[in-house]
Amino acid sequence: MVSDMVSRTATGPAERLPADRFLNRELSWLDFNARVLELAEDDTLPLLERVKFLAIFASNLDEFYMVRIAGLKRRQSTGLSVRSPDGLTIKEQLALVNARTQELVQRHADTFTKDVTPRLEDAGIRIVHWDDLADAEAMRLREYFRDQVFPVLTPLAVDPAHPFPYISGLSLNLAVSVRDPDTGVPRFARVKVPNNVPRFVPVSVPGAETGFLPLEDLIAAHLTQLFPGLDVLEHHLFRVTRNADMEVEEDRDEDLLQALERELARRRFGPAVRLEVTESMDPAILEVLLSELEVAADDVLTVPGLLDLAALWALYGLDRPELKDDPFVPATHPRLSEGETPKSVFATLRDGDVLVHHPYHSFATSVQRFIEQAAADPHVLAIKQTLYRTSGDSPIVNALIEAAEAGKQVVVLVEIKARFDEEANITWARSLERAGCHVVYGLVGLKTHCKTALVVRREQGVIRRYCHIGTGNYNPKTARVYEDLGILTADPRVGADLTDLFNTLTGYSRQTAYRTLMVAPHGVRTGLIDKINREVRHASEGRPAGIRIKVNSLVDEKVIDALYAASCAGVPVELLIRGICSLRPGVPGLSENITVRSIVGRFLEHSRVLSFVNGGDPEIWLGSADLMHRNLDRRVEVLLRVGDEALRDRLCAVLDAAMAAGVRCWELGSDAVWTRAGERDYQAGLMAWAGEGAV
């Protein structure tokens, strides 16, 4: 496995390192989605939870093609011949990705059709086809089609007078072959399955509590009404994925908002990067689609059964609690309430820092309450906050608007380039501006991804600053399903650092050095490598050493090489990586002291925590940054050194629980294969732990 050697350039002295020490990031991402699929395959989970994971797998794969594969194809089209860090050309990567994806899509479809669907039927939930319906139900659905569906359909012919229609990304479509009975000439037409009508139409089915007919089946059964006087020969479903990876050309002399709005208008017309078809697709019709959509045969994915299983969220939404996980109600952090009575966040923080762990601790009664109390408090002079993603009806934004209307100085950095949230963030930015908030859109060439809030309050003639720094977005909806950490603090050093950071974000400051923070793009990679190398020195001099890192993705080659050097020096390295991992663990002479595991479960592991033994004086950092090029080079990210000893102990306990033997996880081997291990549910333990002894 480990063969060719190359000179080391990332860290330390020149050494010989294996050329295959980096795993391919695209294949590693597919391995992550395979772990999601394994949860859908797990018959020990409640049935509708399995349906949920089927939907997550499908939507994850859509975004992967819209962004990552689209990016590879764009580079390929420009003639770039740059190889990936694992030595593969773009063509080789795409071939491996397509083969692996087809394998996973087959597993995904088989899980749904052969395992989950029969179990749904046993539970009284049945997905039927038109021919399964009784005459009375078919009659009712004909009326439904006539009244609710037919008016919104637009059959589009393809002939010399009708060019091939634009096919919108991720839309479900019927390719229809019709024939004029007088001339015998066959024609091609396209019918889009409308996305503003429920995908699964409720039907009454004997023996089932709930029945559903896929909307495309209903349309297919009535194609003769769309093409009266013609013979409908056949129809086939297809779906197109388009490039949605925008590249906004940022000009210092142009309004960024206008540039982004222009690019958003272009995005829907991005080139096709994937064509999904059913197994029954006619080869002649497929040739038409390939030609008109300008898609290569290698980019076709054949899907058994239903297309677009992301629509299964509709089934998960059924009111069948016995088929889902038991409800979980987040606990209010013990230090933020007295019984049922909320406490002043400011008074609490004057007594010491608070560590919140979502979704185990309620976002609404911690971070959200912090901002809402600041907005209503007459002693608060200013609120400064970053917003990367938030919810549709955001209580955080509403509180900031109320604060501005009350005369407080409110500064909000809205990252309008947050992928797939651009339009929502533009709307929020304008609402905040209308309320009198000072709104900025970040720095040219960088996304502002850090999660920070600063409240300035006058107390008995003295100015005091209160802060929140976290790993997750200010989004109360995702805070119920994303695992994230945050620290609320009145530490003057943190307050001074956030003041300097906001001055950098809103003004022309070029500050790069901070007291308690590491800030990308200038300080995170170098800072982390310095700390990794410090562990090497401790180990070489016989002092305690060790590294534990919990992040979503580990891709950066310089950081990985530093971790390899630490392993070679005898430093134990434990990595908890939810998604992409380009590091190869367990290789003798390279990484035998490194272990990698991944936890994928009910909640999306999203927090980033980095722990260093530091010769017996432990140092822990948490923040927004994953260890990827984009985070370290093209984003404003913040990592906070945790100063409070009780908080450090709590974070160590969280890492201990995640790294413990017997925890249900996946472990990465030196052969790049992830293997499922353990039975104990780490997240269930945290649910039980949430209200006990929190700090």
- Which residues are the active-site residues? 449
CA dihedral angle for residue 280, residue 283, residue 289, residue 290, rounded to 10 degrees? 120
Rounded CA separation 553/572 (Å): 19
Do the beta carbons of residue 642 and residue 648 sit within 8 Å? yes
Mind spelling out the 3-state secondary structure of 411-464? EEEECCCCCCCHHHHHHHHHHHHHCCCEEECCCCCCEECCEEEEEEEEECCEEE
Phi, psi of 204 (to 5 degrees): -95, 125
Strands 210-214 and 231-242: unpaired
425: its two tokens: 């963030």
The residue among 444, 448, 446, 362 whose CA lies nearest residue 411 is: 448
Rounded CA separation 633/562 (Å): 17
Rounded CA separation 89/211 (Å): 48
Rounded CA separation 281/156 (Å): 19
CB atoms within 10 A of CB 52: 23
**Helix (H) or strand (E) segment spanning residue 667:** strand 665-668
DSSP 308-323: -GGGGHHHHTSS-GGG
Do the beta carbons of residue 613 and residue 592 sit within 8 Å? no
Rounded CA separation 229/182 (Å): 10
Give the three-class secondary structure for 629.
Answer: helix
Rounded CA separation 145/217 (Å): 11
